[in-house]
Chains A and B, each alone.
Chain A
Amino acid sequence: MADPVSSISIPTATTAPWKGPVALGVAGLVVLAVCSVAMPTFLVNNLIRAFLYAAVALTVDLLWGYTGILTFGQSAFFGIGAYAAGLIFTHLGFSWGYAALALVAGIGVAWAVSRVVGWLAFYHGASPLYASVVTLVLPIVLVQGIYSGGEFTGSSSGLSGFDSFDIPIELWFFIAGAFLIVLAVMAWLFVSSDAGRLLVAIRENEVRCEYLGIDVSRYKARLMDTAAVIAALAGFLFACVQMVVAPEYAGFVFGTELVIWVALGGRGSLLGPIVGTMLIDVGSAYLSGDLPYIWTLLVGIAFVVVIVAMPRGLAPLIAGGVRHLVPRRRRAAAVPVAFCSAQARAQDHAHDAWPALSVHDVQKHFGSLKVLDGITFDARAGELLSLIGPNGAGKSTLMRCIADGAERSGGSVKISGTEIGTLAPYDCVALGVGRKFQTATVFESLTVGEALRIARHRVAPPSRWRREPTLALPQPALDVLRTTGLDRMSDRECRYLSHGQKQALELAMVLALEPHTVLLDEPTAGLTKQERTQIGEIFVALSSRYRMCLLLVEHDLDFVQQISSRIVVLHQGRIVMDGGVDEVVGSELVRAVYAGESHAGEPRVGELNSEGQP
């Protein structure tokens, strides 16, 4: 059945990618140790604070710069960690035992609060604006809670005068700095790993990720949980070294300052926010005495200018400087990937008796407007079913109803015998449905290889700290890549692909999910004649050779006639005809339905039937 295994080997030159960052990190630690004793006390004190703020800014960068979640709430988690220490040390006293208790309490509460925020903000269909609003409300609520805590929480004056670890300030400098360096190295490894690419994919095209089987909401929530714990840890350290906690460290002004520092430093660059935070924070310590109002005004102006005109912040400048100092190394993004054939997964034959797709009395209405009514049909493995009908007939809506359980208003949809109920797209993917969108939606900033690896996420979770040189794909996907030549372009960014290549890539991504049923929404739109032929052959191969069930929405009736095994005609939300190709193409009804239709460049019904009536 399957073609012989073919793998294209590309000379890979990836050295262990973790060596670079770790080496830099160790060098940083050494510099830190030297500075702790060499620098003047005032600067040391300031830098301790700046290191911890930079650590929190790093979490904001991971959430916002990389994943696109604009969060004002990291300050709240920082405050939780700090207040855990402050409250326990004030009311219970200080000892190593209490310190451990405070640490656990701080991290635990931060994690729990993050779960609540995650439930509120990240769910299928949530708007990013709403998520940001929730993260804005969080610190406000927390601070009001602190204010109303009276003597227990210290209210607006905060808590101070509690004991803490009796270690010299130089050692604290080293601890805070080491915390930042370790965090930065780990973050660097993560974002340059294969798993880190998923952050960018989510930021760019969340919907596509969902249709690739990735539970985006859960991923974001877990990311926020991790960020919350890190911020709480930074807060705990802060309280221990400063021996004072105040509501402003948990408030939304601090939360927005973090966003400002990340924006100015350069979002999505890790190093930018760190440098930006430290420069602004230490700078303000020196300058704010001289120009208290002007300083805030200047920062505000710089912020607006950066957001409007230079979204990448100062990072490009820093990066340019760094590149002059550090010897040039190949950028991680340019690593080419070799594709090879994936091991065929154990076929689950329990569902073979069922039709691949079973749609029964599906309805969809918007208010009083009925878009779909009484749609019922079955499709079996190996069928290539084309869905045709004039514009507005409801074809794309039907596709959505099959791939997303929450979409339809009534009726049932079964994939291989399993009812999809109200399952979200990523769960429908798990049942074996893949959907290719009408407009080719891929991930502009990622390479072909990275995009395909994301598509394999559900089956083969990517590594969290390195980049694999090979990617195993199922044979159908490999066929598509080989036919269109994409297999040699694994390191080209998707934004540089032609329209036809993007369509092919998206198809390959969908096939990488190993679906039984593939939904294709106008796959030939915008393709050249040659590309159309190519893709037609691929479709036929998918249904005949690989026994997939293909459901195609198409306007190109020529194409439909050539490749389909069965045609369903939709008109005004109802199925008006369902039968073999010749039966449908020659029918009076279809011609009547299409009467008056004219698609520029598309063959009209009248032209199809060369010996038929006009």
Chain B
Amino acid sequence: MLNLGLDVVTTAAILFIVSAGLLMIFGVMKIINFSHGAFLTLGGYSSVIVGHAGLNWWWSVPFALLTGFVLGIGVERFIVRPLYARPLDAILATWGLGIIVGQIITLVFGREVQMVVSPVDGAIAVFGGHYSVYRLILVGVAVLVALALGGLLNGTRLGLQTRAVIMNESLARALGISSARVRFMTFCTGAALASAAGALITPLSSVDPNMGVPWIVGAFMLVLVSGSSLLSLALASLVLGGAQVLVSTFVNPVLGGLTIAVLAALLLRLRPEGFARG
């Protein structure tokens, strides 16, 4: 029972970390960044590079942030910006970008599964049971991410401008806010976050050119039901992630893998705002 509860909480934390970057981009720019999986993969390979360089694994997180940010600059400038007025086309273009990045990574690193040494291993005794240390650490990381993003949005001037653009872009521009700059910074931050998430999940998964793909659909279903609120995302991660764990455990892992997508689709049909306040 305890294990189940911990499964739910840690799964929700992982989903939150993976989806936070996508949420930022969707909230401000109203487009779904389909290259999100490619950025996750980029983060995973950043871990590999750090490992080959002989450094401590924890360096991969800042390194992944950096690579994600840098790639995000190019992507925003050349692919996303020309497609501001065509959101459906932006989905396709970012999907194409995902394919390109995947192929380039394959050409550079090869198609094998890469090994990344885990920073912490094994389980610790928790209330009488055993639970994976790293998964528990990720809960803390998720809280950190939420606080950091929340702090950025609520405590800085750029954050204030971002929230204005989220609420009403034309009004914000009329007030002199450079929405182009806000979009640019948002995309790069979201991309950096996605990359960092990719690095953070490597101790629990493998690193190969397609590692990001299974996360895409789940992440953006969560983002769609969350609108533009971090709180909604946390709630959605908990509810839908919990549903996934419960279905996987008590019914069938195949159906469990589908839970988030199907439940989110139904929820949006019945309540288009999802978990956000109406």
Contacts and interface: CB of A to CB of B under 8 A. Distances in A.
Contacts of A140: 217, 258, 261
Nearest to B81: A308
B217 A293 contact: no
A259 B96 CA distance: 11
Given A129-B88, A136-B217, A137-B261, A303 B96 contact: yes
B82 A308 contact: yes
Interface string B195-236: 000000000000000000000010011001000000000000
B88 A128 contact: yes
Given A137-B217, A304-B93, A308-B78, A132 B88 contact: yes
B99 A308 contact: no
A307 interface: yes
Interface string A116-135: 00011001011111101110
B220 A133 contact: yes
A42 to B, nearest CB: 27
Interface in A72-127: 119-120, 123, 125-127
B268 A130 contact: yes
B4 interface: no
A73 B42 CA distance: 28
B87 A144 contact: no
B91 A144 contact: no
B80 to A, nearest CB: 9
A358 B187 CA distance: 50
A70 B92 CA distance: 9
Q: Which of A128, A129, A130, A307 has the most CB of B within 10 A?
A: A307
Contacts of A319: none
A307 B92 contact: yes
A263 B255 CA distance: 33
B100 A300 contact: yes
A152 to B, nearest CB: 14
B272 A130 contact: yes
A125 B272 contact: yes
Q: Number of contact residues on A: which range applies?
A: 35 or more
Is the contact region of chain A dominated by helix, strand, or loop, or is it mixed?
helix
Given A137-B262, A297-B100, A144 B83 contact: no
Contacts of B157: none
Contacts of B268: 130
Interface stretch (B55-63, B103-111, B119-127, B165-173): B103-111
A594 B99 CA distance: 59
B228 to A, nearest CB: 14
Main secondary structure, interface of B, reads: helix
A256 B95 contact: yes
B185 interface: no
A296 B99 contact: yes
B265 interface: yes
Given A129-B32, A137-B217, A297-B107, A308 B272 contact: no
A14 interface: no
A303 B91 contact: no
Contacts of A297: 99-100, 103-104, 107
Interface string A286-304: 0000000100110111011
Contacts of A144: 254-255, 257-258
Contacts of A119: 269
Nearest to B83: A308
B97 interface: yes
B265 to A, nearest CB: 6
B252 interface: yes
A304 B100 contact: yes
Interface in B63-98: 78-79, 82-83, 86-89, 91-93, 95-97
Contacts of A127: 272
A70 B93 contact: no
A70 B88 CA distance: 7
Interface in B36-59: none
A603 B219 CA distance: 55
A263 B107 contact: no
Nearest to A69: B88
Contacts of A259: 92
A125 to B, nearest CB: 7
Contacts of A136: 217
B92 A263 contact: yes
Contacts of A128: 87-88
Contacts of B261: 137, 140-141
Nearest to A148: B254
A133 B265 contact: yes
Contacts of A586: none
A147 interface: yes
A307 B96 contact: yes
Contacts of B92: 70, 259, 263, 303, 307
Given A70-B91, A148-B252, A300 B96 contact: yes
A137 B265 contact: yes
Contacts of B262: 137, 141
B87 A129 contact: yes
Contacts of B95: 256
Contacts of B224: 129-130, 133
A256 B98 CA distance: 12
A410 interface: no
Contacts of A125: 272
Nearest to A127: B272
Contacts of A570: none
B268 to A, nearest CB: 6
Nearest to A252: B217
B240 to A, nearest CB: 13
A144 B252 CA distance: 12
Contacts of B220: 133
A127 B87 CA distance: 11
Nearest to B268: A130
Given A129-B91, A130-B268, A132-B91, 15 more contacts: A120-B266, A130-B272, A133-B224, A134-B265, A137-B261, A293-B106, A296-B99, A300-B96, A300-B103, A301-B96, A303-B92, A307-B83, A307-B92, A308-B82, A309-B82
Q: Ordered nearest first, which 5 A-B pairs have the shortest CB separation?
A: A300-B99, A304-B96, A297-B103, A303-B96, A300-B100
28 contacts: A68-B88, A70-B88, A70-B91, A70-B92, A120-B265, A128-B87, A128-B88, A129-B32, A129-B88, A129-B91, A133-B221, A137-B262, A140-B217, A140-B261, A141-B262, A144-B255, A263-B92, A297-B100, A297-B104, A300-B99, A300-B100, A303-B99, A304-B97, A304-B100, A307-B83, A307-B89, A308-B89, A311-B86
